Chains A and B, each alone.
Chain A
Amino acid sequence: MTGAARRDGWVGYAFVGPFLLVYAAILIVPLLMGLWISLNNADLFGRREWVGLANYAQALGDPVLGQAFANTLTLTLLIVPPLTVIALLLALALNRATRLAAILRGVFFSSLVLSVTIVTLIWRFILTPDAGLVAVGLGALGRAPVPFLSDPAYVIPALAVTTLWWSLGFPIMLFLAGLQQVPHDIYEAAALDGAGRWTVFRRITLPSIRRTLLLVVMLQTAAQLQIFGQAQLLTGGGPGGASRTIVLYIFEVSFGRWELGYATAIAELLFGMILAVTLLQYWLVIRHEEQRA
């Protein structure tokens, strides 16, 4: 550091202080409070009774949470891989400087600015059996409408499709940004070497955007493990819990049953799970990179 900077002393705190204050009070304090609340039999109104790890023990034996966990995992697996592949393909197709590509980029990005409420509102009346767009289309073909949101067999895929439609824009943007970081001369060199399209994609493009790929998968996995609004608004977790997700269950336990301690314990478990999955994905890719290097 320069001498001029060394003379600053504590002046720096005048600049970083305001943020740190908010950060400590509204993020760090709740984070620590959460750990403590999860060890208590607590309700929304301030009752606290120390129970140690009992909430965590209860969570591990809770069949409803088990089902919510399975639903969340299924949704994540139904959403993340197709989302990643579709977004990558679209980014590859749209990564060019033509007018049509620019317009199409705008179209594919557009849904991401909508809030979850709007998205579910729209999709409710696409999927609803008596008046939805799909029903109208099926009716025109002389087919019976399908009750997507009330049939246990359809409800998870329906949520997945809704989420895919909503979430497509962000990964496309990330991939486009990643693709534009690939130096152009690599492609020119590959063309001089007579590489075919598939070879170029597999040997040059894909390795070059490895980190973007990791980021997309990491962010989307973390996001879908926390999937909440779509399930709450479209199905309320029904029918019979067939679409209840972990966060929806946290919401129900805390604001329906007022069991704050138990809800917080589940939230801590989810936090741990997200952290673990993220680190695992990161480690897998980084380790792979190191082996190649």
Chain B
Amino acid sequence: MKRDRLSPLVTVLLLIGAAIMLAPMLWTLLLSFKSNAALMADSGSAFAPPWTLENYAAILKGSLTTRWLLNSLIVASGATIGVLVLSSLAGYGFARLEFPFRRTLFVIVLLGLAVPEQAVILPRHQLFAWAGLHNTYPGLILPSLTGSFGVFFMTQYFRAIPKELDEAALLDGASRFTLFRKVLLPLTIPAQATLGVFTFLAAWNDYWWPLISATTSDYFTLTVGLASAQMNYAQTSGLGFLMAQAVFASIPILVVYIAFQKQIVRAMAGTAVR
């Protein structure tokens, strides 16, 4: 990275750009603190007091929003844990063990990177209907576990660990599984964090699959629930409430973003290095 400072012109342009990025979010935040009635009269009133917490109170009191939040947490956490476990195991296997058809299988897994969701989502919907998995948590979680990226990412990470460590552990009498769990796995914690945050974000924000798999509102994730709310409300009748929902739904993900910004950037950057 360069150390020199930005020129004044570039700085001004960047600040304008940043304002454009932030304005929609701040607008949403302002609207969420206004009563629906006040916004009905004039949404411009959002710029001035009185502000209120009534929309947030309404969310916590009655609506399904908290249930959707719980669903999203379950689905995103389940996907994250599942991807971490499967990818670590497979990554170690592909990076370190020799077994029949290893290369062929790895290529087949890599090809998965090129398959867009559209190519599988409708038949998968059929398959899950047949298996009775719609409107269940496993039904919402399982599709996230097919991602090739995690396996690829972990394989690369395991490969970068010096093989001398494996050999030292083998001479220390460690079994393949002890070697994996006690020696190598602890060394992949940075990669686990990166992949975990990445998976959590993707699962949390997924829209297409939960939209068609969860059809009863009890199993909506926040993303789908908010979409249904968005479609059901007449445009401004519940504007403040709707915006409060948006803010409420964004809080967990913004917390994750701020807490793990380094890992997120590294995860994204990781895709560039491949």
A residues near B (Cβ < 8 Å) are 1-2, 4-6, 8-16, 18-20, 22-23, 26-27, 29-31, 33-34, 37, 44, 90, 93-98, 100-101, 104, 106-111, 113-118, 120-126, 128, 130-133, 136, 139-140, 165, 168, 170, 173-174, 176-178, 180-181, 212, 215, 219, 222, 226, 228-229, 233, 247, 250-251, 254-255, 260, 263-264, 267-268, 270-271, 274-275, 278
Contact = CB atoms under 8 A, between A and B. Distances in A.
Contacts of B201: 113
Contacts, number: 280
Given A11-B176, A113-B257, A126-B27, A22 B230 contact: no
Given A10-B100, A128-B235, A270-B118, 10 more contacts: A4-B170, A16-B89, A18-B89, A19-B109, A31-B115, A44-B126, A93-B14, A174-B268, A228-B207, A264-B122
Contacts of A33: 123, 126-127
Interface string B209-233: 0001000000000111011001100
B107 interface: no
A177 B17 contact: no
Given A11-B176, A30-B120, A136-B43, A117 B98 contact: no
Interface in B227-255: 227, 230-231, 235-236, 239, 242-243, 245-246, 249-250, 253-254
Interface residues of B, number: 102
Contact of B204 (A107, A115, A131): A115
Interface in B34-87: 39, 42-44, 85-87
Contacts of A122: 24-25, 27-28, 246
B6 interface: yes
B246 A118 contact: yes
A98 B5 contact: yes
A26 B142 contact: yes
B230 to A, nearest CB: 6
Contact of A22 (B145, B222, B250): B145
16 contacts: A11-B176, A12-B97, A16-B94, A22-B145, A31-B119, A96-B2, A106-B261, A110-B25, A131-B43, A139-B44, A219-B271, A226-B116, A226-B118, A233-B227, A250-B122, A274-B116
A189 to B, nearest CB: 16
Given A30-B127, A271-B119, A111 B21 contact: yes
Contacts of B93: 12-16
Given A37-B126, A117-B223, A118-B249, A177 B97 contact: no
Contact of A181 (B127, B257, B273): B273
A122 B27 CA distance: 8
B139 to A, nearest CB: 11
A-B pairs, top 7 by smallest CB distance, nearest first, are: A12-B99, A15-B93, A177-B269, A131-B43, A33-B123, A12-B97, A115-B205
Q: Which of A93, A212, A275 has the most chain B CB atoms closer than 10 A to its own CB?
A: A93
Given A115-B223, A123-B24, A90 B17 contact: yes
A23 B142 contact: no
A260 B227 CA distance: 24
B27 A26 contact: no
A16 B224 contact: no
Given A20-B105, A130-B236, A107 B27 contact: no
B23 interface: yes
A165 B146 CA distance: 29
Given A23-B109, A37-B123, A15 B1 contact: no
A101 B118 contact: no
A131 B46 CA distance: 10
B194 to A, nearest CB: 13
